[in-house]
Structures are given as C-alpha cells and as structure tokens.
C-alpha cells in the first residue's frame, strides 16, 4: 500500500506550549489551508555507517566535517549516529557529500516534529464525549455495556509529550516500572536510570511530566492518554478502555521534537517488549511534520517485528496524502516486517463528516475516527476539548488495546486487520480512506 501523508493536530489559534518554539528544533507547522515544508535540526544529520563503529570510521567522518554526537542504534551491525556538522556546510550539502563518500549507508536530516491543538472549552452523561457513543462515535459505549472495558495487562506506548500520570482519570492506568525502581541505578540495564514511568527523550531524564501544578506543559500527551484509557466512574472523562496500562515515551518538549529522539522512543518500547515480554500492542503517534527518514522507518520496522502497531495521525492540512507524502503516517512496514504495522487515522465530526482540516487518502489513510470537539483530560486535574487528527488517533489506539484485551493471542497483523475490517462505511470517507469507514469497536 502506497502511503503518503502528514501529521497530527489542527493548526488553529492556540499553539501547544511544547511546540510553539523557535529554531533549531521546531518544525514549520501545516494549517488547514497549506501544508508545511518539512524542517530539520540545523547542523545535524542522522548517519548510518556501512560497517561497525570503529575509530577508523569516526576518523573518516571527522575528515569529512562530521562529528558523532551519540549512537542511536546498531542495525545489522552498523551504527546509526546522530552527528554534528563541523565545517559549516549546509545539511543538504553535507548529506550529499557523505552519500558520495561511500562510507555511509545513508545520511539524512534530523527532521523536526511538533503538534498543535485548539482548546475550546461530567462529560459522558451529558453527551460531551460523543466519540465514545454510537451514531458517528467509536461505539465504545456498546462494548462497555457488554462488559468489554479493556485490561491492565495490555500496554500502550504514548510517543508524544509526557502526560500527567497522577491525573485522577489516568493514575490507575499509569505504568510503574517493576524492573527499575527509583534507586539511582539502571537496574535492568537498558541505559535509562529510574525510568519508573517511561522516559523523557526530549530532556534525557526520567521526569515524563513537566507541567507542574498549573499544567503549562504536556497537555497534548495528557489529552491523548485520556482518550485511550481514562478510567470510569470518577466524575471526569472516560476513555475507550477503562483498563489499560500507559507507558510514556516523551520526545516532544518545549522545543518540539526531532527524529533522533523519536527513534529512541520507538526503540525504547521495542526493547521493553523484547527484553521483559511486556504486552505492548501499540504506540500512539499524534505528531509529524518531517520528511521521509530511512532511520525512522527502520525503527518502526523493528517495532513491527516485535508485534507493536504504530497508530499515526494523518494530518491537518486538508490535503490528499496520496498526492503529497507525509510522515510518520506514510510509513508502510510491509517490505521490512512482512505486514503493514501502521494505521493512519483521519478525523470526522459528530455528524460523520470528514473534518475540514483532516488529511485523507484513498490508498494512504486507513480509517476515520472522532477528531472534532473531543473532550479529554489535561494537566492540573482538568479537562478540555481539542480538535485534530491527533484526537482521532488515540480513539483507534484505544480500539487496538480493547481488541487485544479480548483476543490475547492475536498478532499485531491480526489486530490491525480486525480494526480495519470492522470499520463502519461512512459516506464522507468513501474514496477518502482505505476502508471508506470509521472506527467501530462495538462488535469486538
């Protein structure tokens, strides 16, 4: 399947604190009228060597005006490096020079990402949580009535901002790492000391929530978490799952995020699953803005091989992703993993119409889900309504987790097929998505 798409949240008047910064980290954001030009970290490249990491290879890189900053991964015995340009050349020129040198497998920009949302603001009973109901919602209410409310043994990675893990609606579903208790040591040897709730790759520390008591940061990640799995009967909102376990892979900080940190976040969840056997079924990816990255694609493939789905926002430029390539929702892991682990999500409103801002694509965007006027949790124990494909995406991630709770032996490919095959045909999505339909978890 040919995927071409962009990213996660409607550009309106309010810019999330985590994304409203200046260069070098922040990407130029698309809005409802015009897609962005992908941006990248100035003076940096992602470089994969052809052979192992050796002093000779590093010396050769240095002679070409590039200095290794860190090793992100080792792929088939070859080091993937985050590298700094030391001779003043542009990112484009240096990438071309390295490609021509024969020393590297590939050299590419360290693309930047961000997310935007528009806040508009005992939400289920009064109909505010329309995305959980029937009509054009996800059908979660019907599943709950049948006793299908999820399971704490199903894990979901939130690759995003951080989230307020002690929010009243989230604290009962927040992961507490049993493999690395807070004692100042890296007990499980994964390279992250006291990653008790996950890891903050943007700031390289274990504090995955930086919103403080006034919630100035991490509102987007907190909103996403509430839609996936806000707990029931606590007076606030409720998610697709009443029971699920969140793990934070924070890579969007005050200055947005970049490919290098996104790769580390994806690999973090792959390692948790392969090292400890955690039942991580999906990551939620409500972000975007960069160009194609071979390094990022291969990280998604590594996760796919570990049976982890990659649920991604289609984007908010209102454009056709079959025509204009967009990432990360564009990635298709079929060639690398043997099946496509990506689910790209468009947004619909409560009348079933494709949202005016939502990107779409008959062959590149898989399914629609509620993404307009979505109420969910935000920091400082509050709630707010946001618009965007970033809001549609966690409905689908929640659906993945719900299905996995009911079918514990299902593979990632089988879960993906179940999500897409159960989509309800929707006129606004006909010819606009692969399924021509919207998320419907009522029959799980």
Q: Which residues are catalytic?
A: 160, 220, 390
- Please enumerate in sequence order all residues whose Cβ is within 8 A of that of 120, keeping only pairs 6 or more positions apart, or say none: 373, 384, 385, 386, 387
Measured between alpha carbons, how far is 27 from 206 in angstroms, rounded to an integer?
25
* Residue partners of 411: CB distance under 8 A and separation at least 6: 307
* Cβ count near 279 (within 10 Å): 17
> Could you write out the DSSP letters of every residue in 155-191?
EEEEEES---TTSTTTGGGB---SSS-SSSS-TT-SS
Q: Which of 229, 231, 209, 213 is nearest to 221 (CA)?
A: 209
Query: What is the Cα–Cα distance from 57 to 269, expressed in whole angstroms?
Result: 29
| Virtual torsion, Cα 14, 344, 254, 24, nearest 10 deg | -100
DSSP structure class, residue 293: -
Q: What is the largest CA-CA distance in the chain?
A: 66
Torsion, CA 197, CA 202, CA 207, CA 209, rounded to 10: -80
- Of 232, 254, 248, 244, the closest CA to residue 16 belongs to 254
């Amino acid at each position: 399947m040919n995927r071409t798409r962009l990213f996660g949240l409607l550009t309106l008047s309010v810019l999330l604190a985590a994304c409203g910064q200046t260069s070098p980290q922040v990407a130029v954001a698309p809005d409802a009228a015009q897609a962005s030009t992908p941006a990248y970290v100035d003076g940096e490249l992602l470089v994969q060597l052809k052979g192992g990491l050796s002093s000779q290879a590093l010396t050769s890189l240095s002679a070409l005006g590039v200095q290794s900053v860190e090793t992100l991964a080792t792929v088939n015995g070859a080091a993937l490096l985050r590298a700094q340009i030391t001779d003043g050349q542009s990112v484009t020129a240096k990438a071309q020079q390295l490609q021509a040198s024969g020393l590297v497998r590939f050299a590419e920009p360290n693309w930047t990402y961000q997310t935007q949302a528009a806040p508009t603001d005992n939400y289920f009973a009064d109909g505010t949580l329309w995305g959980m109901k029937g009509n054009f919602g996800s059908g979660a209410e019907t599943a709950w009535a049948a006793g299908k409310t999820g399971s704490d043994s199903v894990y979901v990675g939130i690759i995003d901002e951080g989230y307020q893990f002690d929010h009243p609606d989230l604290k009962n579903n927040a992961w507490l790492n049993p493999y690395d208790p807070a004692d100042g040591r890296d007990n499980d040897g994964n390279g992250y000391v006291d990653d008790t709730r996950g890891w903050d790759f943007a700031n390289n520390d274990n504090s995955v929530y930086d919103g403080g008591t006034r919630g100035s940061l991490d509102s987007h990640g907190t909103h996403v978490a509430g839609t996936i799995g806000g707990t029931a009967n606590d007076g606030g909102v409720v998610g697709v799952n009443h029971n699920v376990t969140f793990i934070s892979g924070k890579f969007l900080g005050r200055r947005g995020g970049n490919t290098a940190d996104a790769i580390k976040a994806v690999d973090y969840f792959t390692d948790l699953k392969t090292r400890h056997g955690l039942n991580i079924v999906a990551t939620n990816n409500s972000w975007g803005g960069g160009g194609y990255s071979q390094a990022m694609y291969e990280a998604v493939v590594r996760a796919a091989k570990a049976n982890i789905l990659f649920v991604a926002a289609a984007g908010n430029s209102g454009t056709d992703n079959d025509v204009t390539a967009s990432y990360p929702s564009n990635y298709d892991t079929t060639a690398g993993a043997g099946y496509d682990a990506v689910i790209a999500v468009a947004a619909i409103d409560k009348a079933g119409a494709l949202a005016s801002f939502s990107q779409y694509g008959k062959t590149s965007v898989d399914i629609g889900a509620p993404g307009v006027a979505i109420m969910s949790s935000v920091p400082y124990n509050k709630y707010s309504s946001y618009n965007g494909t970033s809001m549609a995406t966690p409905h689908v991630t929640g659906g993945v987790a719900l299905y996995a709770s009911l079918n514990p032996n299902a593979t990632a490919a089988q879960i993906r097929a179940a999500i897409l095959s159960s989509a309800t045909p929707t006129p606004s999505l006909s010819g606009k998505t692969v399924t021509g339909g919207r998320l419907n978890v009522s029959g799980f």
